Amino acid sequence: DVQMTQSPSSLSASVGDRVTITCRASQYISSYLLWYQQKPGKAPKLLIYAVSTLQSGVPSRFSGSGSGTDFTLTISSLQPEDFATYYCQHSYNTPWTFGQGTKVEIK
Amino acid sequence: QVQLQQWGAGLLKPSETLSLTCGVYGGSFSESFSEYHWTWIRQSPEKGLEWIGEVNHSGSTNYNPSLKSRVTMSVDTSKSQFSLNLTSVTAADTALYFCASIPPPRGYSGYRFESWGQGTLVTVSS
């Protein structure tokens, strides 16, 4: 199975900050990398697929980059509604696996 | 866009069978969603998010090898539903279970879990 490792596990940031979360795959996954946002008590919400394609309705302050094994999610200007946990996931082959999550907290 | 609503028993005893169903809304199941796959994912503090498996419109399945021996998924097109059965549950199966939709990929974009159910907390306890 492909192991997905996110860093950091948590971070504290202020509204307006630029936030970067990284995700590393244990093997090559091409561009089959997705990002989700999850708020407490809710299902994950798809933000980005194919590394950098924004899901419909997702604000443009979210962006993704990378290829191969190393990927990044960037929030250009953190908003109050962005405080949540973020997960990466690969869809290169099955079993599809997720990272352990990065919790973005208010500083 | 597809909307999902799931239901099923939330409290089980060890060795019982977990059964969850997910209803699909927002279009004709046999027409609008004929190329979709349907999937189940669970989440626990110990294992995080774990993909359980998927079933397509014709009933073909693909399961996570870690659960394959205990999992059965099916689709009922007449009811616009798909289901998960997990046999011989133990405390390790205690988790929040989600259903989700997998639309056909756009070009070479790969698969994505686009819409999610609200989640069902399943607790296994004697």
Per residue of chain A (107 residues), give pLDDT as tens.
Answer: 999 999 999 999 999 999 999 999 999 999 999 999 999 999 999 999 999 999 999 999 999 999 999 999 999 999 999 999 999 999 999 999 999 999 999 88
Q: What does the DSSP 8-state code read for residue A80?
A: G
The mean of the pLDDT values for chain B is 95
Which residues of chain A are within 8 Å of residue B48 when distances are taken between CB atoms? 87, 98-101
- Chain A partners of B118 at a C-beta cutoff of 8 Å? 43
Give the single-character DSSP code of A98: B
Contacts of A50-55 with C-beta under 8 Å, sequence gap 24+, read A50/B108, A50/B109, A50/B110, A53/B109, A55/B112, A55/B114
Chain B positions touching A94 (Cβ under 8 A) are 51, 62, 64
pLDDT value at residue B106:
85
Q: How far is A30 from chain B (nearest CA, A)?
A: 10
